[in-house]
């Protein structure tokens, strides 16, 4: 099941660049929340603060509180633990190139010490089914490498890989932007099904996509969160003029 | 096309010449008998073949792990640090040290304290010579692994050290193995460092603590000698050396292509 | 500013609607004038305008559909295009009402003049004022002006109800004047409808500018749940 995320006074820096300023946000459990905004507005940085991937960059710094399911992920937990509970799917599909499909999905588990083959088999199957890839690859799990699939399939493989470790939150950074429309639709349908089991945060620059999959939407601009409301409100009658200017294409 | 021909031609020429000069002296005895005293016919270089194998084995055991570990450190953990720069500089210098100087250095460091020449010291010399190549190739291959692959591993909650070993190194493994083979092929033919360390041996030896024969060393000694019989054996030895190196490299390629690299596009 | 072509398309759509509005407003004025002076040539003008109005309705709807499909408008742009589509329909009905009045005038031509207890010109004046104001609120995007129209409808409704009472009385008591009374009643009804359409236009302007849906606000509070069938 998914958990809620409460962000309080989050600030982030890359070196001296104050990338995120005073972000306050409550992301509801078992919903999909979209983050929109022009390039460089900080939405990707924000999402990477939620699973502490931001700090893999040596000049990165964070202040403020992020509570995931009530747990303070900076003060009371280690990055490795958090990343097992908060999964991530990236913009460009990145399956492990030297591993088979099976090994890709099982990677998160195997590398963390699981070795029971029967259990792994079940988890791999379940994850591939949850990411709508099972039917297409079930006969070639161990023979085909992860990198030999099409772009859309690779992305679903990455989703399966992230789901295999049974996270509570799934972060998706523009997951469909490198894919064709059919693959994009498949991913969107997937998100729709997944949100009943996980909390999903999706960064997208495609507003129609945000409208299609997310109940709540947040608009980021220049490192600040300008407006956060139901997707319906943001796209039919936003409160802030900057939000309206962005979504109507008047700038950005 | 022309470039390919230009590169391959010298190799083919050498090989053909070696076959021409050396094949006549090849017989079963070459591979099974030790050298016989001057004047007698027959004999072979069995001890040198085995000796080279032992020396290269010891050298690889020393050079490859150290080189790979160094490469991993340079690429993954020490990027930008002064220590990394120092290591890289040292490796480059080591690479440029003439092999005879290496032999003398190991003589002072290992042979003198031990009190005698030994296969072990020969292995050490060869091993140290392998380190720079293995280290630099490993570093380069690791740096070529896309950042996205590392991020994928980290995002799964895999600790950094584990991600490096199980994902990054594994992804770069083809290149790393190539680097090891390059180093191996290079030191397989080294003669100078063995002169003052392994020293050579006309008889059979397998012990690490005793002087040991080696193909390149033997070839060198025989080639410089005034005896025709020994010259013929030297040619044969040279041919065998080249063939063995090619076989070793091919074997490694074959074995690894069935394993780690399977299915990679 | 980006999406310049799209902004221009929105402006063009607005212009098209204003042409339509001008025609509709003019039709009502002409129809009422025809009633006042009993001039059939003016009725002909109304008939010609009606055809232009119908054609424009189709063109405007098509243009709006194209913008929705091709430009994925959001927020205020989306509300604007939606309002244009609705106002388009209301204006076409206003044109229909004008034609209806003009037809009544034609049939009354054959009848004797009668002095009827109904102030058509006054009703027409009110209805025309509502149409003019609602169109102005659209031109200027003035939601406050639009809101002021919402209450004017009550006056027109009251006048229509009074006309109904008075004219049915005439039909009962002076049956030789029944044809004229009936026609006058139908004209009154047409004017009441014009006022309703002007109200709709005002409500659509408020929706466009403020995102507020103010339709049927009076009856909403006591409305039963439409999904429960008694």
pTM over 0.90: no
Q: Which of A80, A94, A165 sits opposite B159 (nearest CB)?
A: A80
Predicted pLDDT at C1:
59
Predicted pLDDT at C83:
97
What are A144-201's pLDDT values in tens digits? 998 899 999 999 999 999 999 999 999 999 998 888 888 888 888 899 889 889 999 9
**CATH number of domain containing A27:** 3.40.50.300
Instruction: Find the closest chain A residue to C211 by CA distance.
Output: A237
Average pLDDT taken over every residue of chain A: 92
Strand partners, C181: none
Q: Is B37 domain-assigned? A: no
Q: Is B93 domain-assigned? A: yes
Report d(CA A103, CA A109) in Å as an integer.
10
Report d(CA B229, CA B235) in Å as an integer.
10
Report d(CA A188, CA C115) in Å as an integer.
70
Q: Is B21 domain-assigned? A: no
Provide ipTM, 2 decimals: 0.91
Q: Is A125 domain-assigned? A: no
8 Å CB contact of A98 and B152: no
The DSSP 8-state label assigned to residue A203 in this structure reads: E
Q: Could you give the C-alpha distances from B10 to B13, B17, B24, B188, B238, in angstroms and in order?
A: 5, 10, 22, 20, 16
Predicted pLDDT at B258:
64
Supply B219's token pair.
């070839």
pLDDT at B225 over 90: no
pLDDT band at B243 (very low <50, low <70, confident <90, very high): confident
> Which among B155, B158, B172 is the top mutation candidate for probing chain A, defined by the most A β-carbons within 10 Å of its own β-carbon?
B155
Domain count, chain A: 1
Q: Is A157 domain-assigned? A: no
Q: What percent of chain A has pLDDT over 70?
A: 100
Owning domain of residue A53: 5-94+168-247
8 Å CB contact of C75 and A244: yes
Residues 6+ apart with CB under 8 A from A118: none
Predicted pLDDT at B39:
67
Instruction: Find the closest chain A residue to C2 by CA distance.
Output: A250
8 Å CB contact of C211 and A237: yes
Task: Please name the residue that has the structure tokens 């054996």.
Answer: B233
Give me the half-sphere count of Cα atoms (radius 13 Å) on the Cβ side of residue C67. 27
Least Cα separation, residue C91 to chain A (angstroms): 25
8 Å CB contact of A250 and C2: yes
pLDDT at A252 over 70: no
Predicted pLDDT at A17:
93
Q: What percent of chain B has pLDDT over 70?
A: 95
Establish if A133 touches chain B: CB-CB under 8 angstroms: no
Q: Is A18 domain-assigned? A: yes
Q: Is A63 domain-assigned? A: yes
| Of C195, C208, C173, C210, residue with least CA distance to C64 | C208
| Of B176, C141, B156, C18, residue with least CA distance to A85 | B156
Establish if B257 touches chain A: CB-CB under 8 angstroms: no
Predicted pLDDT at C230:
66
Chain centroid offset of residue B175 CA = 16
- CB contacts of A237 in chain C (<8 Å) are 75-76, 79, 211
Residues 6+ apart with CB under 8 A from B260: A98, B170, B173, B174
Q: Is A216 domain-assigned? A: yes
Predicted pLDDT at A7:
96
Find the range with the poorest average confidence among A120-129, A242-251, B29-38.
Answer: B29-38
Report d(CA B258, CA C4) in Å as an integer.
60
Q: Which of residues 48-77 of C touch A (CB under 8 A)?
A: 72-77
Establish if A165 touches chain B: CB-CB under 8 angstroms: yes
The mean per-residue pLDDT over the stretch B166-175 comes to 90
Supply A213's token pair.
């999959």
Task: Please name the residue that has the structure tokens 């009045």.
Answer: C101
pLDDT band at B48 (very low <50, low <70, confident <90, very high): confident
The mean per-residue pLDDT over the stretch B75-90 comes to 88
User: B146, B135 in Cβ contact below 8 A?
Assistant: no
- CB contacts of C6 in chain A (<8 Å) are 249
Predicted pLDDT at B118:
85
User: B143, B224 in Cβ contact below 8 A?
Assistant: no
Domain count, chain B: 1
Q: Is A68 left (phi over 0), alpha (psi -120 to 50) or beta?
A: beta
Predicted pLDDT at B259:
56
8 Å CB contact of C75 and A248: yes
Domains of chain C: 7-215 (1.20.58.220)
pLDDT at B36 over 90: no
| Of A48, A166, A183, A193, residue with least CA distance to A106 | A166
> Which among A217, A235, A237 is the top mutation candidate for probing chain C, defined by the most C β-carbons within 10 Å of its own β-carbon?
A237
* pLDDT in 10s for each residue of chain C, 230 residues: 578 889 999 999 999 999 999 999 999 999 999 998 888 999 999 999 999 999 999 999 999 999 998 888 989 999 999 999 999 999 999 999 999 999 999 998 888 888 888 899 999 999 999 999 999 999 999 999 999 999 999 999 999 999 999 999 999 999 888 999 999 999 999 999 999 999 999 999 999 999 988 888 767 777 778 888 76
Predicted pLDDT at A182:
87
**CATH number of domain containing B144:** 1.10.3720.10
Q: Which of C3, C78, C79 sits opposite A249 (nearest CB)?
A: C3
8 Å CB contact of B156 and A162: yes
pLDDT at B262 over 60: no
Q: Is B103 domain-assigned? A: yes
Owning domain of residue B139: 51-213
Predicted pLDDT at B265:
33
8 Å CB contact of B263 and A144: yes
pLDDT at B260 over 60: no
- CB contacts of A238 in chain C (<8 Å) are 75
Sign of CA dihedral C30, C36, C37, C41: positive
What are B172-224's pLDDT values in tens digits? 988 899 899 989 988 988 888 888 888 887 777 777 888 888 888 888 888 88
pLDDT band at B263 (very low <50, low <70, confident <90, very high): very low
Q: Is B73 domain-assigned? A: yes
Q: Which helix (H) or strand (E) element contains residue A6?
A: strand A5-14
Supply B3's token pair.
């470039």
């Amino acid at each position: 099941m998914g958990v809620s995320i409460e962000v309080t006074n989050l600030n982030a820096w890359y070196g001296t660049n104050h990338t995120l300023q005073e972000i306050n946000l409550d992301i509801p459990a078992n919903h999909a929340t979209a983050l929109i905004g022009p390039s460089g507005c900080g939405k990707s940085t924000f999402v990477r603060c939620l699973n502490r991937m931001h700090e893999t960059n040596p000049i990165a710094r964070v202040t403020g509180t992020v509570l995931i399911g009530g747990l303070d992920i900076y003060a009371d937990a280690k990055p490795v633990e958090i990343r097992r509970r908060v999964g991530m799917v990236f913009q460009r599909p990145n399956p492990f190139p030297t591993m088979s499909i099976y090994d890709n999905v099982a990677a998160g588990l195997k590398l963390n010490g699981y070795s029971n083959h029967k259990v792994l088999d079940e988890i791999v199957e379940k994850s591939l089914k949850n990411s709508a890839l099972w039917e297409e690859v079930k006969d070639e799990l161990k023979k085909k490498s992860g990198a030999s699939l099409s772009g859309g399939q690779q992305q679903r493989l990455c989703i399966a890989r992230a789901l295999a470790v049974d996270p509570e939150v799934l972060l998706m950074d523009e997951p469909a932007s490198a894919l064709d429309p059919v693959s994009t639709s498949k991913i969107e349908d997937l998100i729709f099904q997944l949100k009943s089991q996980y909390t999903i945060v999706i960064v997208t620059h495609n507003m129609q996509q945000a409208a299609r999959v997310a109940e709540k939407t947040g608009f980021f601009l220049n490192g600040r969160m300008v407006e956060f409301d139901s997707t319906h409100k943001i796209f039919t009658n936003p409160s802030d003029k900057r939000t309206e200017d962005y979504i109507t294409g008047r700038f950005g | 096309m022309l470039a390919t021909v230009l590169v391959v031609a010298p190799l083919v020429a050498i090989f053909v010449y070696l076959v021409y000069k050396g094949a006549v002296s090849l017989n079963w005895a070459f591979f099974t008998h030790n050298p016989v005293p001057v004047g007698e016919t027959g004999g072979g270089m069995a001890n040198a073949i085995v000796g080279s194998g032992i020396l290269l084995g010891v050298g690889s055991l020393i050079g490859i792990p150290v080189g790979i570990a160094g490469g991993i450190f340079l690429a993954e953990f020490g990027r930008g640090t002064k220590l990394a720069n120092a290591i890289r500089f040292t490796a480059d210098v080591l690479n440029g040290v003439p092999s005879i100087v290496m032999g003398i250095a190991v003589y002072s460091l290992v042979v003198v304290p031990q009190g005698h020449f030994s296969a072990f010291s020969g292995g050490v010399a060869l091993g140290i010579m392998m380190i720079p190549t293995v280290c630099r190739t490993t570093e380069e291959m690791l740096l070529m692994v896309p950042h996205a692959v590392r991020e994928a591993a980290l995002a799964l909650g895999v600790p950094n050290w584990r991600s490096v070993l199980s994902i990054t190194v594994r992804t770069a493994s083809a290149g790393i193995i190539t680097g090891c083979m390059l180093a191996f092929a290079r030191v397989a033919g080294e003669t100078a460092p063995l002169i003052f360390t392994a020293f050579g041996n006309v008889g059979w030896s397998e012990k690490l603590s005793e002087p040991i024969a080696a193909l390149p060393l033997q070839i060198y000694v025989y080639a410089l000698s005034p005896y025709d019989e020994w010259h013929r054996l030297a040619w044969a030895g040279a041919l065998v050396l080249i063939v063995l190196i090619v076989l070793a490299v091919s074997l490694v390629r074959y074995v690894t292509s069935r394993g780690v690299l399977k299915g990679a596009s | 500013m980006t999406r310049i072509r799209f902004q221009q398309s929105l402006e063009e759509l607005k212009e098209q609607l204003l042409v339509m509005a001008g025609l509709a407003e003019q039709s009502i004025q002409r129809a009422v004038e025809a009633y006042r002076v009993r001039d059939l040539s003016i009725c002909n003008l109304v008939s010609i305008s009606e055809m232009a109005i119908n054609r424009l309705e189709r063109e405007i709807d098509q243009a709006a559909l194209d913008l929705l499909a091709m430009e994925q408008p959001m927020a205020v742009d989306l509300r604007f295009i939606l309002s244009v589509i609705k106002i388009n329909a209301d204006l076409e009905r206003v044109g229909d009402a004008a034609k209806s009045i003009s037809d009544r005038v034609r049939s009354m031509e054959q009848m004797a003049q009668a002095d009827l207890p109904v102030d058509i010109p006054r009703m027409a004046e009110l209805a025309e004022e509502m149409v003019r104001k609602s169109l102005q609120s659209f031109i200027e995007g003035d939601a406050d002006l639009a809101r002021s129209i919402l209450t004017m409808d009550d006056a027109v409704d009251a006048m229509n109800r009074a006309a109904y009472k008075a004219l049915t009385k005439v039909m009962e008591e002076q049956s030789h004047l029944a044809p004229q009374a009936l026609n006058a009643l139908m004209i009154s009804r047409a004017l009441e409808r014009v006022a309703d359409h002007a109200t709709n236009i005002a409500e659509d302007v408020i929706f466009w500018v403020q995102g507020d849906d103010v339709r049927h606000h009076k009856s909403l509070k006591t409305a039963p749940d439409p999904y429960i069938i008694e």
